[in-house]
Amino acid sequence: MDAFEHPGGQAVVPPGEELEGLVRLLDRRGAVVLSGAGLSTESGIPDYRGATGRRRSGTPMTYQEFTGSPEARRRYWARSHTGWPAIAGARPNAGHHAVERLRRAGHVAAVITQNVDGLHHAAGTREAVELHGGLRRVVCLDCRRTSTRAELDGRLEELNPGFRSARAELRPDGDARLPQSAVDGFRVAACTACGGVLKPDVVFFGENVPPPRVEHCYELVDAAGSLVVLGSSLAVLSGLRFVRRAARARLPVAIVNQGPTRGDELAGLRLDLPLGAAMTEVARLLDAA
């Protein structure tokens, strides 16, 4: 029986043939890729849960906390300023390049990413939909003016010279762990146009993805021949809803992720493999077909 005819019945793939089902699925063309943090770990950006599926320590900043407290904003920007060089210096890895290779060959029709690191775009997938926004942009919450993070980084460096001299552990959201003593005294930059509050152009916890963006992603899934999830635990509804929609429409669903996901029972094929090597091999096999 073709494992992709009946979403919800997880396929048992014989040893040594782990990738064959995914190759067959992508060979049908028209796939939509939904990517998550696990795709970027090989670029040096930590994911949220790791291979065990257990959430890493640390509480993410919520939208309500950020907008309601100047001290919370100071803490966020101090940590984000410290972690920014690692994000700015990150480069697409083999997984990102394989996805773009599959897109150029017509096997992948569209990419939706939960990541905010911009690495799909850097790999050439310019039309990848950044579901949660991107760290490389900044928006003023008052006048809605947007600017680049590179511009803001220069301003923060001028306001806080030498602040990044200490080594710090990078977190999945692009910020870094810092003691409160290091945060105290950090100077936050305001919007140059109106003096308003600046926020990274990303969707924080407690904030909704813009409805037009969600609707666009639904349209991509509805037009797809299949949905392939790469490196996402699907722990939050913003990504899981697309898997549920595909399964309801009886579209084939495949998940490649190291560690369990909330969508496993909806997948016709579930693979636990390193993404860079796995997707590079899939692209090679399809090129050779």
Q: Which residue has the tokens 């100071």?
A: 74
The residues, any chain, with a CB within 8 Å of residue 8's CB and separated by 6 or more, are 247, 265, 266, 268
Q: What does each C-alpha distance from 238 to 114, 233, 249 come to in angstroms?
A: 8, 12, 18
258 has binding-site annotation? yes
114 has binding-site annotation? yes
Structure tokens at 207: 């904030």
266 has binding-site annotation? no
- Within 10 A of 1 (CB to CB), how many other CB atoms are there? 7
Q: Which residue has the tokens 């579209």?
A: 251
160 has binding-site annotation? no
Cα(204)–Cα(192) distance, integer angstroms: 23
191 has binding-site annotation? yes
- Within 10 A of 232 (CB to CB), how many other CB atoms are there? 28
257 has binding-site annotation? yes
Q: What does each C-alpha distance from 206 to 13, 61, 62, 162, 238 come to in angstroms?
A: 39, 9, 6, 33, 11
233 has binding-site annotation? yes
Active site amino acids: 132
Structure tokens at 115: 């990541």
Cα(268)–Cα(68) distance, integer angstroms: 44
231 has binding-site annotation? yes
140 has binding-site annotation? yes
195 has binding-site annotation? no
- Within 10 A of 6 (CB to CB), how many other CB atoms are there? 12
9 has binding-site annotation? no
Helix, strand, coil % over all residues of the chain, rounded to 5: 40, 15, 45
3-state secondary structure 37-57: HHHCHHHCCCCCCCCCCCCCC
The annotated binding site is made up of 114-117, 140, 143, 191, 194, 231-233, 257-259, 275
The annotated binding site for NAD(+) is made up of 114-117, 231-233, 257-259, 275
The annotated binding site for Zn(2+) is made up of 140, 143, 191, 194
